[in-house]
Amino acid sequence: MLAKESALVFILDLLFIWFFRDPERTASGTGDEIVSPADGKVVHIRGNTACIFMNFHNVHVNRAPVSGKIVQMHHRDGGYLPAFSKDSHNNERNIICIESDYGLVKMTQIAGTVPRRIDTYFNVGDRVTRGERIGMIRFGSRVDITPPEGFALTIKKGDRVKAAVSIVARKMDEASEAIPYNNNNKGE
């Protein structure tokens, strides 16, 4: 019996180590592009906001989508419905607003069914660099990203994105449209 319990504890330890992995990443793109703040699948596009669902198998470390200064942060308690649900707007969340050279970028960390904790590594007034670790949501959740005015999303519902690597929005100029980013990453 002790061998079975030890094996179960060992397997659980391996699962937790795998879940809390935090691979090194280098931010891609240029200053006029916004990178994904999370690994996962785009489950909704609402206006100019992309909703990225992080499943259990995704890396759950969130990254800064742009370089800039955190000018606002607001934590709101709430429920724990599945993060991909349309009713998850009532879930616990942490809203982070980053003032970049191009305007205000809003990133919302939303807890899902299992997570009971949103960790954010920075405070209002701190500066972040695009691709830098900014926080973590435990065990399956969602991150919404809203680029500033003058930017267009380059992703669509169903796309898989990778934090700091996938371009999710590009700055528009008056003569062109954003070029969609073809991203077939399956995460790590």
Which range among 9-13, 26-30, 104-108 has the greatest average pLDDT? 104-108
Q: Which of 36, 100, 141, 166 is catalytic?
A: 141
Q: What is the pLDDT of residues 51-105, one digit of tens each?
A: 999 887 888 899 999 999 999 999 988 777 666 666 667 788 899 999 999 999 9
Cβ atoms of residues 166 and 29 within 8 Å: no
What pLDDT does residue 22 have? 73
Is pLDDT above 60 for 18? Answer: no
What pLDDT does residue 188 have? 40
Which range among 2-6, 64-68, 79-83, 179-183 has the greatest average pLDDT? 64-68
Q: Which residue has the tokens 């996962």?
A: 40
Is pLDDT above 90 for 141? Answer: no
Whether CATH 2.70.70.10 fits 2-171:
yes
- The stretch 21-45 carries a mean pLDDT of 86
What pLDDT does residue 70 have? 98
Is pLDDT above 90 for 169? Answer: yes
Number of H helices, E strands in the chain: 1, 14
Q: Which of 62, 74, 76 is nearest to 124 (CA)?
A: 74
**Residue 141 annotated in active site:** yes
Q: Which of 133, 85, 81, 144 is nearest to 111 (CA)?
A: 81
Residue type, 162: K
Residue 53 β-bridge partners: 41, 142
Cα 148 to chain centroid distance, Å, stands at 16
